[in-house]
Amino acid sequence: MVKNFEDLQQVSKESADIAMKSMGAVSKSAQAIATEIASYSKKSFDESTVALEKLFGVKSLEKAIELQSEYAKSAYEGFVAEATKISEMYADLAKESYKPFEAMVAKAK
C-alpha cells in the first residue's frame, strides 16, 4: 500500500511539474505575442499618421489617389507580414506548451 501511495505521489508531482513548465511556456509566448502586437499597432498608427499628413499637403486629386494607393498597398503588405509572423508565434506557443508533455506521453506508450 505504501509503495502504491509513493508511486501515486511521484506521478502527481511529475504531472504538476510538467503542467507548471507548460504554463511557463504559454505565459512567456503570450507575453511575446502581446508585445509584438503592441509594437505593430504603434508602427501602423505612426505610418498612417505620416500618410495622412502627406495627404493633407497634396495639391491635386491624382497625387492624392496615388498617395492613398501607395499607403493602402504598403499597409496591406505590412499587415500580411505581421499576421504571418504572429501566426508562427502561435504555432510555436502550441509546440512549446506541448513539449513538457512529450515525455509523459512517451512513458504511457
pLDDT in tens, 17-76: 888 888 888 889 999 999 999 999 999 999 999 999 999 999 999 999 999 999 999 999
The continuous run of DSSP H or E covering 45 comes out as helix 2-56
Spatial distance between the Cα atoms of 60 and 65, rounded to a whole number of angstroms? 9
Q: Would you place residue 3 in the very low, low, confident or very high pLDDT band (cuts 50, 70, 90)?
A: low
Which domain, by its residues, includes 96? 2-108
Q: What's the total number of domains in the chain?
A: 1
